Structure 1
Protein backbone atom coordinates (compact mmCIF):
# COMPACT_ATOMS: atom_id res chain seq x y z
CA UNK A 1 0.00 0.00 0.00
CA UNK A 2 2.86 2.38 0.91
CA UNK A 3 4.57 1.72 -2.43
CA UNK A 4 1.36 2.43 -4.34
CA UNK A 5 0.92 5.74 -2.49
CA UNK A 6 4.48 6.82 -3.35
CA UNK A 7 3.87 5.96 -7.00
CA UNK A 8 0.81 8.24 -7.25
CA UNK A 9 2.62 10.99 -5.35
CA UNK A 10 5.52 10.98 -7.82
CA UNK A 11 3.13 10.79 -10.76
CA UNK A 12 1.24 13.85 -9.51
CA UNK A 13 4.43 15.83 -8.95
CA UNK A 14 5.59 15.09 -12.46
CA UNK A 15 2.26 16.14 -13.94
CA UNK A 16 2.42 19.49 -12.13
CA UNK A 17 5.77 20.51 -13.68
CA UNK A 18 5.61 23.11 -16.46
CA UNK A 19 6.60 21.91 -19.94
CA UNK A 20 10.06 23.08 -21.09
CA UNK A 21 9.99 26.42 -22.97
CA UNK A 22 9.88 26.32 -26.76
CA UNK A 23 13.29 27.32 -28.15
CA UNK A 24 13.27 30.56 -30.16
CA UNK A 25 13.19 30.12 -33.92
CA UNK A 26 16.59 30.13 -35.65
CA UNK A 27 17.28 33.38 -37.48
CA UNK A 28 16.65 33.12 -41.18
CA UNK A 29 19.86 33.52 -43.17
CA UNK A 30 19.70 36.42 -45.62
CA UNK A 31 21.08 35.51 -49.02
CA UNK A 32 23.83 37.89 -50.14
CA UNK A 33 23.04 40.27 -52.96
CA UNK A 34 25.10 39.45 -56.04
CA UNK A 35 26.44 42.20 -58.30
CA UNK A 36 27.79 41.38 -61.76
CA UNK A 37 30.35 43.97 -62.85
CA UNK A 38 31.80 43.79 -66.36
CA UNK A 39 35.47 44.76 -66.63
CA UNK A 40 37.37 45.58 -69.82
CA UNK A 41 40.17 43.02 -70.18
CA UNK A 42 42.92 45.65 -70.18
CA UNK A 43 41.94 46.92 -66.74
CA UNK A 44 40.96 43.58 -65.22
CA UNK A 45 43.87 43.75 -62.73
CA UNK A 46 41.84 46.50 -61.06
CA UNK A 47 39.16 43.90 -60.29
CA UNK A 48 41.83 41.53 -58.99
CA UNK A 49 43.15 44.00 -56.42
CA UNK A 50 39.78 45.27 -55.16
CA UNK A 51 37.92 41.93 -54.96
CA UNK A 52 39.21 40.69 -51.59
CA UNK A 53 39.25 44.06 -49.74
CA UNK A 54 35.71 44.84 -50.84
CA UNK A 55 34.50 41.38 -49.87
CA UNK A 56 35.91 41.98 -46.39
CA UNK A 57 34.31 45.44 -46.17
CA UNK A 58 30.93 44.71 -47.76
CA UNK A 59 27.86 43.74 -45.76
CA UNK A 60 26.21 40.78 -47.45
CA UNK A 61 27.18 41.86 -50.99
CA UNK A 62 29.02 39.57 -53.39
CA UNK A 63 30.63 40.98 -56.55
CA UNK A 64 31.25 38.84 -59.60
CA UNK A 65 33.68 40.45 -62.06
CA UNK A 66 33.17 39.53 -65.72
CA UNK A 67 36.02 40.28 -68.17
CA UNK A 68 35.29 41.17 -71.77
CA UNK A 69 35.39 43.48 -74.75
CA UNK A 70 33.92 46.89 -73.84
CA UNK A 71 31.34 46.88 -76.65
CA UNK A 72 30.12 43.40 -75.64
CA UNK A 73 30.05 44.36 -71.96
CA UNK A 74 27.99 47.48 -72.65
CA UNK A 75 25.55 45.43 -74.74
CA UNK A 76 25.22 42.99 -71.84
CA UNK A 77 24.74 45.94 -69.49
CA UNK A 78 21.87 47.26 -71.61
CA UNK A 79 20.35 43.78 -71.79
CA UNK A 80 20.31 43.53 -67.99
CA UNK A 81 22.96 40.81 -67.79
CA UNK A 82 25.36 43.10 -65.92
CA UNK A 83 24.82 45.70 -63.22
CA UNK A 84 27.70 48.01 -64.19
CA UNK A 85 30.89 48.13 -66.28
CA UNK A 86 34.44 49.28 -65.54
CA UNK A 87 36.16 50.53 -68.69
CA UNK A 88 38.63 53.19 -69.86
CA UNK A 89 36.35 54.07 -72.76
CA UNK A 90 33.05 55.92 -72.95
CA UNK A 91 31.52 55.53 -76.42
CA UNK A 92 30.26 58.54 -78.33
CA UNK A 93 26.60 59.22 -77.67
CA UNK A 94 26.64 57.38 -74.35
CA UNK A 95 23.64 58.27 -72.16
CA UNK A 96 24.53 56.06 -69.21
CA UNK A 97 25.69 57.64 -65.94
CA UNK A 98 29.44 57.27 -65.39
CA UNK A 99 32.11 58.40 -62.97
CA UNK A 100 35.91 57.84 -62.77
CA UNK A 101 37.21 55.43 -60.13
CA UNK A 102 40.90 55.14 -61.09
CA UNK A 103 43.55 56.53 -63.43
CA UNK A 104 45.39 54.19 -65.77
CA UNK A 105 47.89 54.57 -68.56
CA UNK A 106 47.68 53.33 -72.14
CA UNK A 107 51.10 51.77 -72.82
CA UNK A 108 53.13 50.62 -75.81
CA UNK A 109 54.49 47.09 -75.38
CA UNK A 110 57.33 45.26 -77.11
CA UNK A 111 59.25 42.00 -76.74
CA UNK A 112 61.26 41.86 -73.48
CA UNK A 113 64.55 41.69 -75.43
CA UNK A 114 63.81 44.71 -77.61
CA UNK A 115 66.56 47.34 -77.02
CA UNK A 116 64.25 50.29 -77.75
CA UNK A 117 63.43 52.07 -74.49
CA UNK A 118 60.66 54.36 -75.68
CA UNK A 119 58.91 56.20 -78.48
CA UNK A 120 57.48 59.65 -78.97
CA UNK A 121 53.77 59.95 -79.64
CA UNK A 122 54.59 61.05 -83.18
CA UNK A 123 56.72 57.93 -83.71
CA UNK A 124 54.00 55.68 -82.30
CA UNK A 125 51.47 57.16 -84.68
CA UNK A 126 53.84 56.83 -87.64
CA UNK A 127 54.56 53.19 -86.81
CA UNK A 128 50.95 52.14 -86.39
CA UNK A 129 49.94 54.08 -89.49
CA UNK A 130 52.55 52.18 -91.50
CA UNK A 131 54.82 55.13 -92.29
CA UNK A 132 57.67 53.71 -90.16
CA UNK A 133 58.10 50.02 -90.79
CA UNK A 134 61.53 49.03 -89.44
CA UNK A 135 62.85 48.97 -85.88
CA UNK A 136 66.16 50.41 -87.08
CA UNK A 137 64.44 53.78 -87.60
CA UNK A 138 63.70 53.78 -83.85
CA UNK A 139 67.13 52.69 -82.64
CA UNK A 140 66.38 48.98 -82.71
CA UNK A 141 67.44 46.01 -84.81
CA UNK A 142 67.18 46.00 -88.58
CA UNK A 143 63.92 44.07 -88.81
CA UNK A 144 60.36 44.86 -89.89
CA UNK A 145 57.96 45.98 -87.17
CA UNK A 146 55.11 43.53 -86.62
CA UNK A 147 52.06 45.47 -85.48
CA UNK A 148 49.65 43.86 -83.02
CA UNK A 149 46.32 45.60 -82.45
CA UNK A 150 42.94 44.87 -80.87
CA UNK A 151 39.65 43.65 -82.24
CA UNK A 152 36.66 45.79 -83.19
CA UNK A 153 34.76 46.97 -80.13
CA UNK A 154 37.79 46.97 -77.84
CA UNK A 155 37.68 49.89 -75.42
CA UNK A 156 41.46 50.01 -75.27
CA UNK A 157 41.59 49.96 -79.05
CA UNK A 158 39.19 52.92 -79.12
CA UNK A 159 41.33 54.82 -76.58
CA UNK A 160 44.44 54.09 -78.67
CA UNK A 161 42.71 55.37 -81.79
CA UNK A 162 41.64 58.55 -80.03
CA UNK A 163 44.81 59.32 -78.05
CA UNK A 164 47.53 58.09 -80.42
CA UNK A 165 46.18 57.81 -83.93
CA UNK A 166 43.74 60.78 -83.89
CA UNK A 167 42.62 61.17 -87.51
CA UNK A 168 45.05 58.52 -88.77
CA UNK A 169 44.03 54.90 -89.27
CA UNK A 170 45.88 51.86 -87.95
CA UNK A 171 47.67 50.04 -90.77
CA UNK A 172 45.74 47.25 -92.46
CA UNK A 173 48.82 45.08 -91.89
CA UNK A 174 48.29 45.12 -88.11
CA UNK A 175 47.13 41.83 -86.61
CA UNK A 176 43.88 42.39 -84.70
CA UNK A 177 43.64 40.05 -81.72
CA UNK A 178 40.77 39.49 -79.31
CA UNK A 179 41.56 40.34 -75.71
CA UNK A 180 44.47 41.99 -73.94
CA UNK A 181 45.97 38.68 -72.87
CA UNK A 182 46.13 37.42 -76.47
CA UNK A 183 47.81 40.64 -77.58
CA UNK A 184 50.45 40.46 -74.85
CA UNK A 185 51.13 36.78 -75.60
CA UNK A 186 51.68 37.58 -79.28
CA UNK A 187 54.06 40.43 -78.46
CA UNK A 188 55.98 38.34 -75.93
CA UNK A 189 56.45 35.61 -78.55
CA UNK A 190 57.79 37.85 -81.35
CA UNK A 191 60.99 39.94 -81.01
CA UNK A 192 59.78 42.22 -83.81
CA UNK A 193 56.28 42.86 -82.40
CA UNK A 194 54.82 46.13 -81.11
CA UNK A 195 51.41 46.42 -79.49
CA UNK A 196 49.50 48.36 -76.85
CA UNK A 197 47.97 47.48 -73.51
CA UNK A 198 47.15 49.16 -70.21
CA UNK A 199 49.35 49.87 -67.24
CA UNK A 200 48.81 47.23 -64.58
CA UNK A 201 48.06 44.51 -67.14
CA UNK A 202 51.27 44.57 -69.19
CA UNK A 203 52.98 41.47 -67.80
CA UNK A 204 55.47 39.38 -69.76
CA UNK A 205 56.26 42.24 -72.16
CA UNK A 206 58.47 45.35 -72.17
CA UNK A 207 56.60 48.59 -71.52
CA UNK A 208 58.05 51.47 -73.52
CA UNK A 209 58.26 55.03 -72.29
CA UNK A 210 56.21 57.61 -74.20
CA UNK A 211 57.73 61.06 -74.77
CA UNK A 212 60.31 60.17 -72.13
CA UNK A 213 57.77 59.32 -69.42
CA UNK A 214 56.98 55.88 -68.00
CA UNK A 215 53.53 54.82 -66.86
CA UNK A 216 53.30 54.33 -63.08
CA UNK A 217 50.70 55.08 -60.39
CA UNK A 218 52.50 58.35 -59.60
CA UNK A 219 52.83 59.57 -63.21
CA UNK A 220 49.22 58.85 -64.10
CA UNK A 221 47.95 60.37 -60.88
CA UNK A 222 49.73 63.66 -61.60
CA UNK A 223 48.98 63.09 -65.32
CA UNK A 224 52.59 63.74 -66.36
CA UNK A 225 52.39 60.49 -68.34
CA UNK A 226 51.00 61.60 -71.73
CA UNK A 227 48.62 58.66 -72.24
CA UNK A 228 46.88 58.82 -68.87
CA UNK A 229 43.24 57.77 -69.08
CA UNK A 230 40.50 57.35 -66.45
CA UNK A 231 38.84 54.05 -65.69
CA UNK A 232 35.12 54.69 -65.47
CA UNK A 233 32.31 53.09 -63.52
CA UNK A 234 29.42 52.96 -66.00
CA UNK A 235 25.87 52.49 -64.74
CA UNK A 236 23.07 50.84 -66.70
CA UNK A 237 20.86 53.94 -66.68
CA UNK A 238 21.30 57.71 -66.86
CA UNK A 239 20.76 57.93 -63.10
CA UNK A 240 23.25 57.45 -60.30
CA UNK A 241 23.40 53.89 -58.96
CA UNK A 242 21.46 52.98 -55.82
CA UNK A 243 21.29 50.14 -53.32
CA UNK A 244 24.12 47.61 -53.31
CA UNK A 245 25.62 49.11 -56.46
CA UNK A 246 25.86 52.50 -54.78
CA UNK A 247 27.52 50.81 -51.80
CA UNK A 248 30.15 49.28 -54.10
CA UNK A 249 30.88 52.58 -55.88
CA UNK A 250 31.01 54.51 -52.59
CA UNK A 251 33.59 52.08 -51.22
CA UNK A 252 35.63 52.18 -54.44
CA UNK A 253 35.80 55.99 -54.29
CA UNK A 254 36.35 56.13 -50.52
CA UNK A 255 39.74 56.63 -48.86
CA UNK A 256 39.93 52.89 -48.14
CA UNK A 257 39.01 51.92 -51.69
CA UNK A 258 41.37 54.46 -53.26
CA UNK A 259 44.22 53.19 -51.11
CA UNK A 260 43.69 49.77 -52.69
CA UNK A 261 43.40 51.28 -56.18
CA UNK A 262 46.71 53.08 -55.64
CA UNK A 263 48.61 49.79 -55.48
CA UNK A 264 48.58 49.57 -59.30
CA UNK A 265 46.74 52.64 -60.54
CA UNK A 266 46.42 56.35 -60.00
CA UNK A 267 43.90 57.54 -57.43
CA UNK A 268 41.07 59.89 -58.33
CA UNK A 269 40.61 61.04 -54.72
Structure 2
Protein backbone atom coordinates (compact mmCIF):
# COMPACT_ATOMS: atom_id res chain seq x y z
CA UNK A 1 0.00 0.00 0.00
CA UNK A 2 1.27 3.41 -0.83
CA UNK A 3 2.50 5.50 2.22
CA UNK A 4 -0.13 8.22 1.73
CA UNK A 5 -3.02 5.78 1.49
CA UNK A 6 -1.66 3.85 4.48
CA UNK A 7 -1.57 6.99 6.62
CA UNK A 8 -5.14 7.95 5.64
CA UNK A 9 -6.38 4.41 6.47
CA UNK A 10 -4.74 4.57 9.92
CA UNK A 11 -6.31 7.98 10.78
CA UNK A 12 -9.75 6.80 9.67
CA UNK A 13 -9.50 3.68 11.82
CA UNK A 14 -8.48 5.71 14.89
CA UNK A 15 -11.41 8.07 14.40
CA UNK A 16 -13.86 5.21 14.16
CA UNK A 17 -12.51 3.57 17.31
CA UNK A 18 -12.60 6.78 19.37
CA UNK A 19 -16.11 7.56 18.08
CA UNK A 20 -17.37 4.28 19.47
CA UNK A 21 -16.36 5.27 23.02
CA UNK A 22 -18.94 6.96 25.30
CA UNK A 23 -17.87 9.75 27.66
CA UNK A 24 -17.51 8.95 31.33
CA UNK A 25 -20.79 9.46 33.14
CA UNK A 26 -22.90 7.88 30.42
CA UNK A 27 -25.39 5.15 31.34
CA UNK A 28 -23.17 2.41 29.98
CA UNK A 29 -20.12 3.73 31.82
CA UNK A 30 -22.17 3.58 35.05
CA UNK A 31 -23.73 0.22 34.29
CA UNK A 32 -21.10 -1.62 36.26
CA UNK A 33 -21.80 0.48 39.40
CA UNK A 34 -25.33 -0.19 40.69
CA UNK A 35 -27.12 2.86 42.15
CA UNK A 36 -28.94 2.72 45.46
CA UNK A 37 -32.66 2.31 44.77
CA UNK A 38 -34.72 5.26 45.96
CA UNK A 39 -37.38 4.35 48.51
CA UNK A 40 -40.91 4.87 47.19
CA UNK A 41 -42.77 7.79 48.77
CA UNK A 42 -46.33 7.19 49.99
CA UNK A 43 -48.62 10.21 49.62
CA UNK A 44 -51.68 10.63 51.86
CA UNK A 45 -54.03 13.58 51.25
CA UNK A 46 -56.11 15.17 54.03
CA UNK A 47 -58.64 17.89 53.19
CA UNK A 48 -61.56 19.72 54.76
CA UNK A 49 -62.43 21.62 57.93
CA UNK A 50 -60.72 24.99 58.37
CA UNK A 51 -61.28 24.56 62.10
CA UNK A 52 -59.10 21.44 61.97
CA UNK A 53 -56.52 22.43 59.38
CA UNK A 54 -53.92 23.68 61.88
CA UNK A 55 -54.35 20.52 63.95
CA UNK A 56 -54.04 18.36 60.83
CA UNK A 57 -50.86 20.14 59.79
CA UNK A 58 -49.28 19.66 63.22
CA UNK A 59 -50.10 15.95 63.15
CA UNK A 60 -48.62 15.70 59.66
CA UNK A 61 -45.42 17.57 60.54
CA UNK A 62 -44.66 15.36 63.52
CA UNK A 63 -45.61 12.09 61.85
CA UNK A 64 -43.49 12.77 58.76
CA UNK A 65 -40.45 13.14 61.02
CA UNK A 66 -40.94 9.50 61.97
CA UNK A 67 -41.79 8.39 58.43
CA UNK A 68 -39.54 10.24 55.96
CA UNK A 69 -40.86 8.05 53.12
CA UNK A 70 -44.38 9.39 53.71
CA UNK A 71 -45.72 12.70 52.44
CA UNK A 72 -48.89 14.10 54.03
CA UNK A 73 -50.71 16.88 52.17
CA UNK A 74 -53.13 18.79 54.47
CA UNK A 75 -55.40 21.53 53.13
CA UNK A 76 -58.57 23.31 54.32
CA UNK A 77 -61.55 24.66 52.43
CA UNK A 78 -64.31 23.67 54.84
CA UNK A 79 -65.90 20.42 56.02
CA UNK A 80 -68.26 20.28 53.03
CA UNK A 81 -65.34 20.71 50.65
CA UNK A 82 -63.44 17.87 52.31
CA UNK A 83 -66.41 15.50 52.21
CA UNK A 84 -67.06 16.39 48.55
CA UNK A 85 -63.41 15.56 47.79
CA UNK A 86 -63.85 12.22 49.56
CA UNK A 87 -66.93 11.46 47.45
CA UNK A 88 -65.06 12.44 44.27
CA UNK A 89 -62.07 10.31 45.21
CA UNK A 90 -59.63 13.23 45.36
CA UNK A 91 -58.65 12.89 49.03
CA UNK A 92 -57.82 9.97 51.29
CA UNK A 93 -59.16 11.58 54.48
CA UNK A 94 -61.81 14.27 54.95
CA UNK A 95 -61.58 16.47 58.06
CA UNK A 96 -65.00 17.55 59.31
CA UNK A 97 -66.24 19.58 62.25
CA UNK A 98 -69.76 18.23 61.70
CA UNK A 99 -71.18 14.74 61.28
CA UNK A 100 -71.58 13.53 57.71
CA UNK A 101 -75.18 13.66 56.50
CA UNK A 102 -77.31 10.87 55.01
CA UNK A 103 -77.06 12.10 51.42
CA UNK A 104 -73.25 12.20 51.65
CA UNK A 105 -73.21 8.69 53.14
CA UNK A 106 -75.26 7.36 50.24
CA UNK A 107 -72.92 8.96 47.70
CA UNK A 108 -69.91 7.42 49.40
CA UNK A 109 -71.58 4.00 49.52
CA UNK A 110 -71.88 4.09 45.75
CA UNK A 111 -68.08 3.93 45.73
CA UNK A 112 -67.81 1.37 48.53
CA UNK A 113 -70.87 -0.27 50.14
CA UNK A 114 -68.97 -0.69 53.43
CA UNK A 115 -68.13 3.00 53.76
CA UNK A 116 -67.82 5.58 55.06
CA UNK A 117 -65.64 5.13 58.14
CA UNK A 118 -65.98 7.75 60.89
CA UNK A 119 -63.31 8.47 63.49
CA UNK A 120 -63.64 10.98 66.32
CA UNK A 121 -60.16 12.50 66.57
CA UNK A 122 -60.72 15.44 68.98
CA UNK A 123 -63.31 17.44 70.94
CA UNK A 124 -64.11 21.12 70.56
CA UNK A 125 -66.57 23.72 71.74
CA UNK A 126 -68.17 26.29 69.46
CA UNK A 127 -67.21 29.57 71.06
CA UNK A 128 -68.85 32.95 70.50
CA UNK A 129 -66.33 35.79 70.51
CA UNK A 130 -66.74 39.46 71.36
CA UNK A 131 -64.28 42.32 71.45
CA UNK A 132 -62.23 42.47 74.66
CA UNK A 133 -63.84 45.84 75.51
CA UNK A 134 -67.41 44.50 75.29
CA UNK A 135 -69.03 44.40 78.78
CA UNK A 136 -71.35 41.48 77.89
CA UNK A 137 -70.05 38.30 79.53
CA UNK A 138 -72.78 35.73 78.82
CA UNK A 139 -75.67 35.12 76.44
CA UNK A 140 -78.43 32.55 76.34
CA UNK A 141 -78.91 30.27 73.35
CA UNK A 142 -82.10 32.21 72.58
CA UNK A 143 -80.20 35.52 72.59
CA UNK A 144 -77.50 34.09 70.28
CA UNK A 145 -80.26 32.84 68.00
CA UNK A 146 -81.90 36.28 67.99
CA UNK A 147 -78.62 37.97 67.08
CA UNK A 148 -77.81 35.57 64.24
CA UNK A 149 -81.35 35.56 62.85
CA UNK A 150 -81.36 39.37 62.88
CA UNK A 151 -84.08 39.79 65.51
CA UNK A 152 -81.67 41.41 68.01
CA UNK A 153 -79.57 44.17 66.48
CA UNK A 154 -78.40 46.31 69.42
CA UNK A 155 -76.13 45.33 72.32
CA UNK A 156 -78.35 47.20 74.79
CA UNK A 157 -81.03 44.53 74.25
CA UNK A 158 -78.76 41.86 75.75
CA UNK A 159 -77.23 43.89 78.60
CA UNK A 160 -74.58 45.80 76.69
CA UNK A 161 -74.10 49.39 75.59
CA UNK A 162 -76.29 51.21 73.08
CA UNK A 163 -74.49 50.18 69.89
CA UNK A 164 -75.37 48.17 66.78
CA UNK A 165 -74.26 44.53 66.79
CA UNK A 166 -71.85 43.75 63.94
CA UNK A 167 -72.36 40.08 63.07
CA UNK A 168 -69.64 37.85 61.61
CA UNK A 169 -70.21 34.35 60.28
CA UNK A 170 -68.49 31.57 58.33
CA UNK A 171 -69.10 30.49 54.73
CA UNK A 172 -71.73 27.80 54.16
CA UNK A 173 -69.16 25.10 53.27
CA UNK A 174 -67.93 25.28 56.87
CA UNK A 175 -68.89 22.56 59.33
CA UNK A 176 -68.91 25.21 62.04
CA UNK A 177 -71.48 27.20 60.04
CA UNK A 178 -73.65 24.08 59.75
CA UNK A 179 -73.30 23.32 63.47
CA UNK A 180 -74.42 26.84 64.47
CA UNK A 181 -77.26 26.79 61.95
CA UNK A 182 -78.53 23.45 63.29
CA UNK A 183 -77.83 23.79 67.01
CA UNK A 184 -78.33 27.53 67.59
CA UNK A 185 -80.61 28.74 64.78
CA UNK A 186 -82.83 25.65 64.68
CA UNK A 187 -82.11 25.17 60.98
CA UNK A 188 -83.13 28.71 59.97
CA UNK A 189 -81.00 30.95 57.76
CA UNK A 190 -78.50 33.49 59.09
CA UNK A 191 -79.39 37.15 58.98
CA UNK A 192 -78.50 38.91 55.73
CA UNK A 193 -76.56 41.39 57.90
CA UNK A 194 -73.99 38.70 58.78
CA UNK A 195 -70.62 39.31 57.17
CA UNK A 196 -69.29 36.00 55.84
CA UNK A 197 -65.59 35.34 56.34
CA UNK A 198 -63.44 32.51 54.91
CA UNK A 199 -62.02 31.04 58.12
CA UNK A 200 -62.17 31.14 61.91
CA UNK A 201 -58.92 33.09 62.05
CA UNK A 202 -60.49 35.79 59.90
CA UNK A 203 -63.51 35.93 62.23
CA UNK A 204 -61.27 36.33 65.29
CA UNK A 205 -59.27 39.10 63.60
CA UNK A 206 -62.45 40.94 62.60
CA UNK A 207 -63.91 40.81 66.11
CA UNK A 208 -60.59 41.93 67.62
CA UNK A 209 -60.76 45.08 65.46
CA UNK A 210 -64.50 45.76 65.67
CA UNK A 211 -65.62 47.02 69.12
CA UNK A 212 -69.23 45.94 68.50
CA UNK A 213 -68.53 42.69 66.72
CA UNK A 214 -69.57 39.12 67.49
CA UNK A 215 -68.34 35.96 65.79
CA UNK A 216 -67.98 32.26 66.39
CA UNK A 217 -65.54 29.40 65.87
CA UNK A 218 -63.46 26.76 67.60
CA UNK A 219 -62.11 27.28 71.09
CA UNK A 220 -58.51 26.93 69.88
CA UNK A 221 -58.76 30.19 67.92
CA UNK A 222 -59.94 32.38 70.79
CA UNK A 223 -56.93 34.68 71.09
CA UNK A 224 -56.99 38.48 71.33
CA UNK A 225 -60.73 38.53 71.99
CA UNK A 226 -63.04 37.37 74.78
CA UNK A 227 -65.11 34.19 74.86
CA UNK A 228 -68.71 34.46 75.95
CA UNK A 229 -70.20 32.14 78.52
CA UNK A 230 -73.35 30.41 77.27
CA UNK A 231 -76.61 29.76 79.12
CA UNK A 232 -79.16 27.19 77.99
CA UNK A 233 -81.93 29.55 79.07
CA UNK A 234 -82.45 32.64 81.24
CA UNK A 235 -82.57 30.58 84.46
CA UNK A 236 -79.53 28.42 83.72
CA UNK A 237 -75.96 28.86 84.87
CA UNK A 238 -73.59 30.65 82.48
CA UNK A 239 -71.08 28.00 81.33
CA UNK A 240 -67.61 28.96 80.05
CA UNK A 241 -66.05 26.86 77.26
CA UNK A 242 -63.34 25.30 79.46
CA UNK A 243 -61.73 21.91 78.87
CA UNK A 244 -63.67 20.22 81.67
CA UNK A 245 -66.99 21.65 80.51
CA UNK A 246 -66.40 20.73 76.88
CA UNK A 247 -65.12 17.21 77.57
CA UNK A 248 -67.99 16.49 79.97
CA UNK A 249 -70.62 17.98 77.65
CA UNK A 250 -71.68 20.54 80.28
CA UNK A 251 -70.92 23.35 77.86
CA UNK A 252 -74.04 23.58 75.63
CA UNK A 253 -72.13 23.81 72.35
CA UNK A 254 -69.54 21.03 72.71
CA UNK A 255 -68.91 18.90 69.61
CA UNK A 256 -66.72 16.16 68.15
CA UNK A 257 -64.19 16.66 65.36
CA UNK A 258 -64.02 13.88 62.77
CA UNK A 259 -61.93 12.15 60.16
CA UNK A 260 -63.92 10.42 57.42
CA UNK A 261 -62.58 7.74 55.08
CA UNK A 262 -64.24 6.00 52.13
CA UNK A 263 -63.37 2.56 53.58
CA UNK A 264 -61.22 0.92 56.25
CA UNK A 265 -57.70 2.35 56.09
CA UNK A 266 -54.63 0.33 55.21
CA UNK A 267 -50.91 0.96 54.81
CA UNK A 268 -49.63 4.50 55.28
CA UNK A 269 -53.12 5.90 55.92
CA UNK A 270 -53.71 3.37 58.71
CA UNK A 271 -50.33 4.21 60.26
CA UNK A 272 -51.19 7.92 60.27
CA UNK A 273 -54.57 7.32 61.91
CA UNK A 274 -52.94 5.17 64.60
CA UNK A 275 -50.56 8.05 65.29
CA UNK A 276 -53.39 10.61 65.50
CA UNK A 277 -55.18 8.53 68.14
CA UNK A 278 -52.01 7.62 70.05
CA UNK A 279 -51.03 9.42 73.28
CA UNK A 280 -48.48 11.45 71.30
CA UNK A 281 -51.06 12.45 68.69
CA UNK A 282 -53.64 13.37 71.30
CA UNK A 283 -51.07 15.50 73.13
CA UNK A 284 -50.81 17.56 69.94
CA UNK A 285 -54.59 18.07 70.17
CA UNK A 286 -54.08 19.67 73.59
CA UNK A 287 -51.07 21.71 72.42
CA UNK A 288 -53.09 23.19 69.55
CA UNK A 289 -55.94 24.14 71.89
CA UNK A 290 -58.53 21.41 71.45
CA UNK A 291 -59.43 18.50 73.68
CA UNK A 292 -58.63 14.78 73.38
CA UNK A 293 -61.08 12.44 71.73
CA UNK A 294 -60.83 9.93 74.58
Relative to the length of structure 1, the TM-score reads: 0.83
> Are positions 1:267 and 2:274 aligned together?
no
Post-superposition Cα deviations, 1:52-93, rounded to whole Å, max 9, x if no partner, equal 332233363221210112222222232332211111113421
Post-superposition Cα deviations, 1:162-193, rounded to whole Å, max 9, x if no partner, equal 11111443222222222223322322221111
Measured after TM superposition, the shift of residue 245 of structure 1 is 1.0
Measured after TM superposition, the shift of residue 31 of structure 1 is 3.0
- Conservation of the 8 A alpha-carbon contact between 1:98 and 1:234: yes
Name the CA distance, whole Å, in 1 between partners of 2:57 and 2:223. 14
- Conservation of the 8 A alpha-carbon contact between 1:43 and 1:200: no
Q: Which residue of 1 aligns with 2:28?
A: none
Aligned length: 246
Structure 1: where are the runs of 5+ without partners? 1-22
Name the CA distance, whole Å, in 2 between partners of 1:229 and 1:25. 56
1:200 match: secondary structure = helix
Q: Which residue of 1 aligns with 2:246?
A: 220
Relative to the length of structure 2, the TM-score reads: 0.76
Structure 1 44/219 Cα, relative in aligned 2: closer, same or farther at 3 Å? farther
Q: Which residue of 2 aligns with 1:194?
A: 214
> Are positions 1:68 and 2:89 aligned together?
no
- Conservation of the 8 A alpha-carbon contact between 2:48 and 2:83: no
Q: Which residue of 1 aligns with 2:27?
A: none
Name the CA distance, whole Å, in 2 between partners of 1:176 and 1:40. 16
Q: Which residue of 1 aligns with 2:60?
A: 51
- Conservation of the 8 A alpha-carbon contact between 1:218 and 1:266: no
Indicate the structure with greater helix content. Answer: 2
Measured after TM superposition, the shift of residue 194 of structure 1 is 0.9
- Conservation of the 8 A alpha-carbon contact between 1:102 and 1:232: yes
Name the CA distance, whole Å, in 1 between partners of 2:71 and 2:91. 14
- Conservation of the 8 A alpha-carbon contact between 1:216 and 1:265: no
Q: Which residue of 2 aligns with 1:106?
A: 126
